[in-house]
Every structure is written in structure tokens, then in C-alpha cells.
Structure 1
Amino acid sequence: MSTAATPYDMLPPYTPALALGPHRAADFWKLPEGESVELIRGRLVMSPSPRPSHQMISMLLSRWLLGIAEQSGGFALAAPADVQFADHTILQPDLLYITKERRAIVRKCIEGAPDLVIEILSDSGARRDRVDKQQLYAEFGVPEYWIVDPREQQIDFLVNRNGRFEIQPQLDGKYASPQYAELAFDIAAFWTDVAKLLGDIER
């Protein structure tokens, strides 16, 4: 994004509306760099800075995803990274993964749906991630969406079936993606690592 300032509103948590808002990608790219802003159906939506616990969990997942990308030839990123789904919608998922075969969508931003999107829940953004963004990711064809809940120590693994997400089973504390063989995740080991690193830090 350029450094030229463009005024925008501080909006409450997004709720899908029938009518598109007034803003488009051209407005978004005029915003100052580093702003935690998403363009959601034509509306500029700000998010507060995440908690330290959120960032630590993101770092752990980033380390895992980067290892997957190095082995598979894919591409992994952590926020802030802009993903343009349409002229009226540009989102910043907490983490994303793109397979080797689809690396061409990585340009000045990610142009189109990543193969995997991960969102880490926070108090202020839980509804947005579980409801609003879930609907958007399904609509725009994200094949797989993981929702990480630090408070409940739970991860929902969702797979896109014809524009709707279906929750996938976990077996013995592990998850194996039905779509991408490289995305095999040890859930129990992950939460053990989180507990070691965070201790009594509030989640």
C-alpha cells in the first residue's frame, strides 16, 4: 500500500449487508502501509492490534507452515498480507498457504483464494472470523479454513464443499487434510507447545 493517507471510518465488527459499501480496491491501496484494515464488501474495517498470546500462536503456526512450504515448494505467509478476492473485498488472514501449483497468484498481493487460510480467534474478532469471514472465504472459494480458538484450545478444520464449509474429523489428536497430503497437523503437540511458551499469559 502507498503512504498517501486516505480517510476512512472506524467500523464495528462486520455484518454482511445486501448492498456493497462505497469503497473499492483503488481506495484500499491508497491507505497508509501497516494499517490493520480490510476491505469487506466495499467497507473499510479496522481491527485492534492482537494480544501477545495471539502473536505467539501465530509464530508457532508460521514456523510449521514455513516448514511445509519449504518441503513442498509451496508458499506461506503470516499477517499482514493482503489477499484480494474481488474489487470490493481484500482480506488479511492471520496465516495462509498456497500450493506449489498455484504460486502464480502471489504478486503485489495474493490475487485469489489461498489453498489454506487460518484465523486465530480474539475477543474482538471472534464473530467476524467464525461467521462473517467464514462466509466470505466459502463464497470466494478458499478450499480449506482453520479456526484456532486459544481460550478453548480447539481448532476447527473446515473444508469447502460447493461453497459451504464442512467441519472435518480429528483422530487421536491429529488432523490430516483430505485435500492436501502435506497438511498433516499434530493438534495435541501444538497445544502442548503453546502451553510451554505462554504459561499463565492471558489468552
Structure 2
Amino acid sequence: MSIPDESKNYSYTDYLTGDEGERFELIDGEKFPMSPAPSRRHQQVLRELSTAFTIFLREKECEVFFAPFDVRLLGENKQDEEIMNVVQPDLSIVCDREKLDDKGCNGAPDMISEILLPTSIKMDRWKKFQLYEKAGVEEYWLVDPVYESVELYALICGKYKFQGVYTKGDSLSVYHFAELEIDLSRIFE
């Protein structure tokens, strides 16, 4: 893997033409290497979350996507070389089909969930938190498979407002889809 040039701002064009096998995300034009393949536990939690959302959303206008799936943020009406934010959230829900194209999502998904890894905590809690808030992602979940918990944030008046921490045994009402309740015992089986 090549070392990123700290003095350069990278764009979506650079992202698309990067070294084969190099996995990174862009935030404000800065390259952030992605972790190697996540743990089996991470994947189990992601599978259960995506299944719960997929079943619920089958009859709705929204779609569920999971990594690897490119989300270009703050890039609406911009050319690839002008887009400076590309992430691959663990789980994205997109209700506006106009944002979807063959490359992924161009714009803010309605909801994003990141499953915490020891190597991603700072990125997910700080860099991505700020980016998702700025981009207008309406709901953000931080899912911790070790402590079997979910922190929920809802975008209210342009800022994330903490909605609570939910743990195994709790039923979590989804902020964006009030009629959906997720049994966290199933998610963290």
C-alpha cells in the first residue's frame, strides 16, 4: 500500500484511479486507510442489522446497502474531481432513489450505522460523526459488538442530538422509521 501524500487533497477521481487493492476513505480530501476485513462478530452483527432493515423496508421506498458501498458526501452537482468525501459505511439506508447511481450513493443517506472496531473508534466517533452531521445524514448509529450496545443520534436543526444507548435485551425504536422496533437480543445473538 502506498503512503498518502499529506500535502495533497484527494478527490473521488483519485479514489477511483488509486492502486488496485488499496482501500481508503476520503474526508475533506484526506485519505484514511480502511481496516483489513472485520471480525466474524462484526459481520454477524452487520448481517442481523441488514436483515432486520431489509425485511422492514421491502414494502417501502428505501433501500439498504452495506459495505463495500461508496457514499459520496457533499458532492451533489459536482464532478468527480471536486468530490472530496467518499466513505463506505457498514450500513446505509437511502430513501431518495435520485441519489443512487451505478457508483453508489451521491448525497446523504437517510441513515448510517457504523459497527465499531478497535481500529475505527476514533474515526467513527469523531471524523465520520462530524462529516455525517455536516452532510445531513438524519440518523447515525454507533454499534458496539463488544459491549453489545447501540448509540443513536438524530439530526435535529442541523446538529446531532443524542437519543440514548440501547443494549442487548432492549428494543430499539428507529428514529427515522418510528414503526420499526429492533430487538437487540437478535442483533447481538
In the superposition, the TM-score normalised over structure 1's length comes to 0.78
Given candidates 3, 23, 46, the residue that maps to 2:33 is 46
Alignment-derived partner of residue 15 in structure 1 = none
Q: For the residues of structure 2 that align with 1:189 and 1:136, how far apart are their CA atoms?
A: 30
Amino acid at match of 1:157: L
2:3 to 1, 9, 19: 9
Question: Which of 90, 95, 99 matches 1:94?
Answer: 90
Deviation at 1:150, TM superposition (A): 1.1
- From 142, 147, 157, give the equivalent of 1:152: 147
Counterpart for residue 104 of structure 1:
98
Distance 1:65 1:8, change over 3 A: farther
Match of 2:52 in 1: 64
Q: Deviations over 1:129-155 (max 9, x none)?
A: 111111110011000001101111110
Q: Which runs of 5+ in 1 are unaligned?
A: 1-6, 12-19, 194-203
Q: Decide whether the 8 Å contact of 1:115 with 1:144 is kept in 2.
A: yes
Q: Secondary structure at the match of 1:28?
A: helix
Query: Runs of at least 4 residues of structure 1 off by over 6 A?
Result: none
Query: 2:177 corresponds to which letter in structure 1?
Result: Y
What's the offset of the Cα at 1:169? 4.1
- CA separation in 2, counterparts of 1:189 and 1:73? 25
Deviation at 1:187, TM superposition (A): 2.1
For these two proteins, the number of residue pairs brought into alignment is: 176
**In the alignment, does 2:20 pair up with 1:23?**
no
After superposing the two structures, state which structure 1 stretch, 39-48 or 181-190, moved more: 181-190
1:133 alignment partner in structure 2: 128
1:93 partner amino acid: P
Q: Which residue of 1 aligns with 2:79?
A: none
Q: Distance in 2 between matches of 1:33 and 1:180?
A: 39
For 2:45 and 2:66, locate their aligned partners in 1 and report how far apart those are by CA, in whole Å.
11
Matched residues in 2 for 1:182 and 1:80: separation? 28
Contact 2:149 2:165 in 1 (8 A): no
C-alpha RMSD of matched pairs (Å): 2.3
Letter in 2 for 1:106: L
Q: Which has the higher strand share?
A: 2
Output the amino acid matched with 1:59: R
Q: What secondary structure, in the 3-state scheme, does the structure 2 residue paired with 1:122 have?
A: coil
Equivalence for 1:175: 172
CA shift, 1:36, in A, is 2.8
Match of 1:29, SS state, is: helix
Whole-Å separation in 2 of the counterparts to 1:69 and 1:95: 14
The verdict on how the C-alpha distance between 1:56 and 1:158 changes in structure 2, with shifts beyond 3 A counting, is same
Gaps of 5+ in 2: 76-82
2:17 partner SS: coil
Cα offset for 1:161? 1.4
One-letter amino acid matched to 1:51: S
Specify the code of the residue in structure 1 equivalent to 2:90: D
TM-score of the pair, normalised by structure 2: 0.83
Q: Deviations over 1:49-107 (max 9, x none)?
A: 211211121111121122122121321111000000131111110001112xx112110
